[in-house]
Structure 1
Amino acid sequence: MRKVFQAELHQVGEQLIEISRLVAEAMEKANQSFVNADIELAQEVIAADARIDFLQNDLDERAIEILALQGPVASDLRMIVGALRMSASLERMGDLARHVAQLARMRYPANVSPESLRPTFAELAENDIAIARKLTELLDTRNLELARDINRHNDRINELHAGIFKAIAAPDFPGNAPTAVDVSLASRYFERFADHGVSVARKVTYLVTGEWAPNGASH
C-alpha cells in the first residue's frame, strides 16, 4: 500500500509540472499574440486554456481521493494540501495568459499597447516567461535558488507595473481612454501572473524547508 501511495504522490507532482509547463507555453504564445497582433495565436492560447483547467480539476480530484483513502500524515499531508493550493495558482496563471490573448484578439488588427510602452511590456513578458519556466524547473528539482530567482523577477515586474501606471497618468500619454484601460488591464495581467508564480514558489519552499518565506522575500 505504501508503494501505491508513493506512486500516487509522484503522479500528483508530475501533473503539477505538466500544468506549469503548459502555463509557460501559454504566456509565451499570449505575449507573441500581444506583440504582433496575431489573432490566430491569440485564439490558440484561449482554446488551450481548457487543457490547463482539465488537468487542474483532475489533479484536485486525485489529491482529494488520496486524502480520503490513504489518511496521509505530516509531510505527506503537507505535500497533498500544497499541491491543491499550487494547482489553483497555476490555473489562475493560465487564465491570466488567456486574458492577455483575449485583449490582443479584441483589439485586432491594432496593437493593444502604444508604441512608447512596448519596450516596457516586452520586459514584463520576458520576466513573466522566466518566472514560469523557472517555476516548472523548481517543481521538478526543488532547487530553492530558483525560488529566489523568481522573487527577483517579480521585484522587477512590480517596478515596471508601477511605471506603466505613471505613464498612463502623465499628460503626454499617447492614447485615448480605451487605450488607457487596455494598457492598465494588460499590465495588471502580467503583474498578477508573476504574483501567482511567487505564491507557488513560496509553497515549494515551505515543502522543502518546513518554514514559510515572508511575502516578497528576495533573498
Structure 2
Amino acid sequence: MRDGFQGDLVQLDGKLATMADAAAEAMRRATRALLTADLLLAEEVLGADDQLDELRAVCEEDAYALLALQAPVAGDLRGVLAVVYCAEKIERMGDLAAHIAGTARRRHPDHAVPAELEQVFTDLGRETAGMADRVASLVRDGGRGGYAELSRTDETVDALHARVLATITSPSWPHDQRVAVALTLVTRFYERFADQAVSVSKRLDFAATGDLPE
C-alpha cells in the first residue's frame, strides 16, 4: 500500500507541475499578445484558461481521495495538502495571465503598451514566466530550496512594476488617462502572478522540510 501511495503522490505532483507549465506558457503568450496587439493569440490564451481550471479540479479530487483512502501523516500529509494549496495558487496565476490577454483584446486594434514601456513589459513577461517554469521544476524535483530564489526574482518584478508606475504618473507622460489606468491594472497582474509563484514555493519548501521559510 505504501508503494502505491508514493506512486499516486508522484502522479499528483506531475499534474501540479503540468499546471505550472501551463501557467508559464499562458504568461508568455499573453505578454506576446499584449505587446503585439495580437487578437487571435489573446483569444487563445483566454480560451485555454479553462484547461487550468479543470486541472485544478483534478488535482484537488485526487488529493482528497488520497487523504480519504490512505490517511497520510507527517511529510506525506504535508505533500498532499501542499498540492491542494498550490493548485489554487497556480490556477490563479493562469487567471492573471488571462487578464493580461483580456487587456490586449480590449485594446485591440490599438497597442496596450506604448513604445517607451515595451522593454519593461517584455522583462515583466520573461521574469514572471520564468518563475512559473521554476515552480514546475521545484514540484518535479521535490520542492526544496526554491523560496529564496523566487523571492529574489519577485523583487525584480516589484522593481519593474514600480518603473511602470513611475513612468505613467510622471508629469511628462504623453498619453491619456485611459492608457495609464489600463497599464496600472496590467502591471498589477504581473506583480500578483509573481506573488502567487512565491507563495507556491514557500508551501513546497514547507512540504519538503516541515519548516516554513522566513
Range into which the TM-score falls when normalised by the shorter chain = over 0.9
CA distance in 2, matches of 1:174, 1:143: 46
Deviations 1:9-63 (A, max 9, x none): 1111111011111111111111110111111111110011111100101110111
Gaps of 5+ in 1: 215-219
CA–CA separation in structure 2 for the residues paired with 1:87 and 1:107: 31
1:178-217 paired onto structure 2 within 5 Å? 178-214=178-214
Paired residue for 1:66? 66
Q: Kindly tell me the number of residue pairs found equivalent between the two proteins.
A: 214
Q: Which has the higher contact order (CA 8 A, sep 6+)?
A: 2
1:164 counterpart = 2:164: yes
TM-score by length of 1: 0.93
Q: Does structure 1 residue 5 correspond to structure 2 residue 31? A: no
| Contact 2:145-2:205 within 8 A present in 1 as well | no
Compute the displacement of 1:78 (Å). 0.6
Q: Which amino acid aligns with 1:130?
A: G
Partner Cα separation in structure 2 for residue 195 and residue 87 of structure 1: 14
CA distance in 2, matches of 1:86, 1:143: 11
Residue identity opposite 1:19 in structure 2: M
Change over 3 Å in CA distance of 1:199–1:149 after alignment to 2: same
Aligned to 2:38: 38
CA separation in 1, counterparts of 2:132 and 2:36?
21
Instruction: State, as a whole percentage, how many aligned pairs show the same letter.
Output: 35
The whole-number CA distance in structure 1 between the counterparts of 2:6 and 2:108 is 49
Q: Give distance in 1, aligned partners of 2:68 and 2:197.
A: 28
Asked if structure 2 preserves the Cα contact closer than 8 Å seen for 1:138 and 1:147, the reply is no
Instruction: Using the TM superposition, give the Cα deviation of residue 209 of structure 1 relative to its aligned residue in structure 2, in angstroms.
Output: 2.1
1:176 paired residue number: 176
Shift of 1:2: 2.1
- Aligned match of 2:109: 109
Contact 1:131/1:150, CA 8 A, preserved across alignment: yes
User: Which amino acid is 2:186 matched to?
Assistant: A
Letter in 2 for 1:6: Q
Cα distance, 1:210 vs structure 2: 1.7
Partner-residue secondary structure (3-state), 1:109: coil
Secondary structure of the corresponding residue to residue 127 of structure 1:
helix
The Cα offsets for residues 107-155 of structure 1, whole Å up to 9 and x where unpaired, read as 0111111221111111111111111111111111136454433222111
Equivalent pair of 2:42/2:101 in contact (CA under 8 Å): yes
Q: What residue identity is the alignment partner of 1:21?
A: D
Give the letter aligned to residue 61 of structure 2.
Answer: E
Gaps of at least 5 residues in structure 2 are: none
Aligned partners of 1:157, 1:115: CA distance in 2, in Å? Answer: 19
Give me the whole-angstrom Cα distance separating, in 2, the residues matched to 1:173 and 1:60.
Answer: 46
Q: Give runs of ≥4 in structure 1 deviating > 6 Å.
A: none
- State the partner residue of 1:217: none
The one-letter amino acid paired with 1:127 is: E
TM-score (norm 2): 0.95
Give the Å deviation of 1:85.
0.3
Q: Match for residue 56 of structure 1? A: 56
**SS of residue paired to 2:111:** coil
Matched residue SS, 1:9: helix
- Provide, for residues 157-186 of structure 1, a one-character-per-residue CA deviation record: whole Å limited to 9, x for no partner: 111111211222211112212111110011
